[in-house]
Amino acid sequence: MKKLYELIEFQKLGDEFGELVVAECGKHIPFDVRRIFYIYGTKQGVVRGRHANRKSRFLLINMFGSVKIKIDTGKKKDVIDLNRPNMGVYLDRMVWKDMYDFSEGSCLLVLSDELYDSKEYVRDYQEFLNEINNAKK
């Protein structure tokens, strides 16, 4: 079965002078990237996300500091601590996500296969559950 989310460990190609990480579409990123955005300067106690996306898939990489990603597939819940710049979390469509516990200086880079479209967001949790249950029928 196709995974709805997955932790991705990027190889570090650094040397004694410092680190370097590469992510190529089709090789490490499971889609072609059409959009990037990043979240930084997040105040303490803030929870971002709180939605699912009908069309977009994502790869989240926290470039600096740490952030927790709560993932809810409707069947399973998980929390991933993104605390290294060489790790990422892949999120398929229709996965509910919360981002929280942003450390000071955290910079969360998000790659997506879709351009922004506010209509593809599901912001109501019950609606999210209804849509995934209806899709299974």
For the chain, the residue count is: 137
Helix (H, G, I), strand (E, B) or coil at 29: strand
CA 15 to chain centre: 28
> Given the complex with ligand TYD, which of 4 and 39 has the nearer CB atom?
39
Under rule CB under 6 A, residue 38 binds ligand TYD: no
* Catalytic residue positions, numbered: 51
SS (H, E, C) 58-127: EEEEEEECCEEEEEECCCCEEEEEECCCCEEEEECCCCEEEEECCCCCCEEEEEECCCCCHHHEECCHHH
Under rule CB under 6 A, residue 116 binds ligand TYD: yes
> Given the complex with ligand TYD, which of 48 and 84 has the nearer CB atom?
48
Q: How many residues of this chain bind ligand TYD (CB under 6 A)?
A: 4
Q: Which of 25, 37, 77, 135 binds ligand TYD (CB under 6 A)?
A: 37
Q: How far is the CB of 48 from ligand TYD (least distance, A)?
A: 6
Binding residues for ligand TYD (CB under 6 A): 35, 37, 48, 116
